Amino acid sequence: MQIPRIFAKGVLCDGERYRAHLPPTIANLNYNNEESVKPSNEEVEVNLAFVHKQMVSGAKKRELFLGCKLTAGEEGFCDGPGIVEGPPHNTLHSWVGSGVNPEREDMGAFYSAAKDLIIYVHQSNIDRLAFIFYDENLRFVRIKVRDLRDTHKLGYKYEEIPLPWLNAKSKPTGSLAASIMKRKSGSLLSQRAVMEKERALVSSVTFEVHRPKRGRLKEEKVREEEIVFMEGILMKCEVYAKFDMFVNLGAEEENIAGPLRGSLLGHLLTLCTGRGE
């Protein structure tokens, strides 16, 4: 889980990488512009749980994994990318790019990412993940080639390698907040939580989201995934931005929040484009 050493010398070496992240530093898939102080073994554990969240527990619906459908024309615009497009895709772009450059060039910005040849390995790995999905019985399988394309005819194939993140399920948390919610009574009439005024996300923001139905049967949970939508978020595109969303997380648990905790719902992450909002 580090930059391959073959990219550390010769024509594959790019001088615009963050030196602190060169081998043997373990990649941080939950990178938010702050350096991790975790030991290597713990960083690997967090990364495995992170990928499990993005590929398994957080991607139970096709729309979540692949994102919304993008079609031609103004009405076909879609701003709901697949779950792996943020972290780990965008995260690693920023993690590799140089922290001393204004937009973390080369890898950390769209316009310059292709200057670093490591982008081709990175994108190929994201494509490889797209070949791993579920069948109708929720069993983890590889999509048959005929469902997408025959890569052999294109002159390449993906290496068969182990998937250590497959069983790296996050640990449940939020016990205090969950118990408080269970004690609350009254009908839940709304599915939408509205923030009364704009808030800058410079610190934690907490609000209550009413669920349309509680106490669902096991069959209902299998048939329909419960999804939280967030709208009206403005982010400056000239800077790297990332925030995480949690559910049933008490204030005293914020310091342990992260990919290893089951209360993590998802992430919003953008790379620099230099185009303003």
| Interval 264-276: pLDDT, tens | 777 777 776 655 4
DSSP letters, 92-157, are HHHHHB-TTSTT-TTTTBTTTGGGSTHHHHHHHHHHHHHTEEE-TT--EEEPPGGGS--GGGGT--
The residue ranking higher by pLDDT, 118 or 275, is: 118
pLDDT band per the 50, 70, 90 thresholds, residue 189: very low
Angle, alpha carbons 109-107-112 (nearest 5°): 55
Question: 145 or 183: whose pLDDT is higher?
Answer: 145
Average pLDDT over residues 23-41: 89
* Amino acid 107: pLDDT: 92
Q: Hunting for tokens 């069948």 — which residue is that? A: 135
* Extended beta strands in the chain, E state: 132-134, 140-142, 241-246, 264-270
Can you give the pLDDT at residue 257? 73
Structure tokens at 119: 């982008």
Asked whether 237 and 275 are in contact (CB, 8 A), the reply is yes
Please state, in angstroms and rounded to a whole number, the distance separating the CA atoms of residues 200 and 58.
26
- Mapping DSSP to helix (H, G, I), strand (E, B) and coil, where does residue 243 land? strand
- 53 pLDDT exceeds 60? yes
Average pLDDT of the chain is 76
Q: Is the pTM of this model over 0.85?
A: no
CA distance 103 to 3: 20
Going by C-alpha positions, the residue among 11, 243, 245 that lies closest to residue 120 is 11
pLDDT-derived band of residue 135, with 50, 70 and 90 as boundaries?
Answer: low
Distances (CA, A) of 29 to 128, 201, 244, 267: 17, 21, 13, 12
